[in-house]
Amino acid sequence: MKKQNSNQPEHDETIVPVRSGIKENFVASTSLDSKDRNYSFKLVVSALIVLASLALGVIFLLPSWVAEQVPTTEMVEQSAPPSESNSGVLVMSPEELDILRDKAEALLAELLQQQGLLEAQGAANWAGEDWDLYQTLFRDGDDAFLADAFYDAVPSYQAALDLGISLLARSKNIIDRALEAGNEALAAGNPSLAAEQFQLVLRIEADHVDSQSGLERAQILPNVLAHMEQGAERDQNGDLVSALELYRNAAILDSLWIPARLAVANATRRIADARFDSLVSVALNALAEEEFEEAHQFFTDALKMRPDSLEALDGLIQADQGIRLEQIALAQVRATAFEKRELWDRAIQQYLLALNSDDSLEFAKIGLSRARARTDLDAKFEGLFRNPDVLFADQILKDAGILLEDARGIDGRGPRLNGQIAELGRLVRLASTPIDVELRSDELTNVTLYRVGSLGSFITHHVQIRPGPYTALGSRAGYRDVRVVFEVLPGSTLSPIEIFCVERIN
């Protein structure tokens, strides 16, 4: 590489190469003027000329030069440090010069990439004097490189590279601290400070996701704070429901803002507490007024809100006891009323209802037994009334008499039972009263009357028999028997019954 002409003007700005791989939305904070771009172009052209010269030398000159040399000393593994000539100029062997050139080129390539990163992060805005020093070291290295003073270019490039590493680390630290400060400002309700911190991060890293989200939250924070302030005013005025709505709106605007979420939870809890206290109070009042059904419902609703509330559970137990006692008392009253009206089936239902609540209730046991007995008695009476002819049977008539005696022995008989006793007594009397029946024959036929006995032969015979169905059988030697069926009805007059055997047997 040719040395730089002493008349060539010195440059003041860092060389910024055009690089691929840097995101398009990063924009370097420091731009190059036309003088810097010309300088960079000259540097690249000089480097290409030097490399071409070295290649030609290696191809055409190195073989003949090696043949002419006569080794006078043994080769050593490492070249001696460059020495100064009598004129004070540093003298280096070609091998040493190649090594330093390669090193300088490698450092330059790293620096170009590093410089692009720093410029994309806007280092000029936050690195201060260190950024100026970085550019100075870079320029010094470039100047030395162009002058083929690689022994000066390498340390300058290395120093610039080391400083760049520290600046990149500092940018990470700035991002972390600014992000933390921005989040703290959000939590403290300071939207301007939060926006400032997030914008600082975005100037360094434009696509920083957390900072973009934080900036959006900072921008809507004033609206969130307005909702919170209005909610607090409603809260102080006792309008907790409206306050909760405003708190919820704030939480919807920024679901990550803790004060809004806490306010929603607090207001929701207080509303629930008020609702619970109201339910318990109304339930206790209903309990005091012996409105047990209402108290039961209110205590049940309260327990749905707080299943572990001992107060509500105790109230529910009292309400249930009141309902049970109320049901028992009501069943007893109703059963007594049904008994007085001689509605025994309905009285039985009330006694059973009372026993379902408490099977040890003595009044219900006695009442159930009494009601069932009266129901059975009533059924017997009604059965006889529907079929009075059954009284014509001796055993049934006897049983009916016993039934009448039992019924007459019941105390506190009602109109229905007294009417039944009277009616059955009348039927029993009718069925028990004999009626005169005239039987006629030819004095040749022997007559037998079932249920009475043999009457012999006669022309006319009168018998006193109770109402009911009867059969008379006539028999005569040489003649076919004759059977006559007739029925004696109470209170009626029966025509004479004729029994004659007139059909001869061949």
| Helix (H) or strand (E) segment spanning residue 497 | strand 497-498
User: Where exactly are the structural domains of the chain?
Assistant: 1-68+92-205, 387-432, 435-498
Q: Give the 3-state DSSP-derived string for 107-144, with helices as H, strands as E and coil as C.
A: HHHHHHHHHHHHHHCCHHHHCCHHHHHHHHHHHHHHHH
Q: In Å, how far from its chain's centre is CA 478?
A: 105
Residue 91: what pLDDT?
67
Please provide the size of the chain in residues.
506
Sorted by sequence, the CB contacts under 8 Å of residue 242 that are 6+ apart come out as 231, 234
- As given in the structure block, the two tokens for residue 383 are 């059965």
Cβ atoms < 10 Å from Cβ of 375: 16
Question: Which residues of the chain, if any, have pLDDT below 70?
Answer: 1-91, 120-121, 125-126, 170
d(CA 50, CA 56): 10
**Tell me: the pLDDT tens digits for 301-317?**
888 888 888 888 888 88
Q: In Å, how far from its chain's centre is CA 463?
A: 95
d(CA 97, CA 391): 151
Contact 452, 426 (CB under 8 A): no
The Cα-based distances of 278 to 52, 237, 290, 303, 451 in angstroms read: 96, 20, 18, 13, 85
| Helix (H) or strand (E) segment spanning residue 19 | none
d(CA 126, CA 178): 12
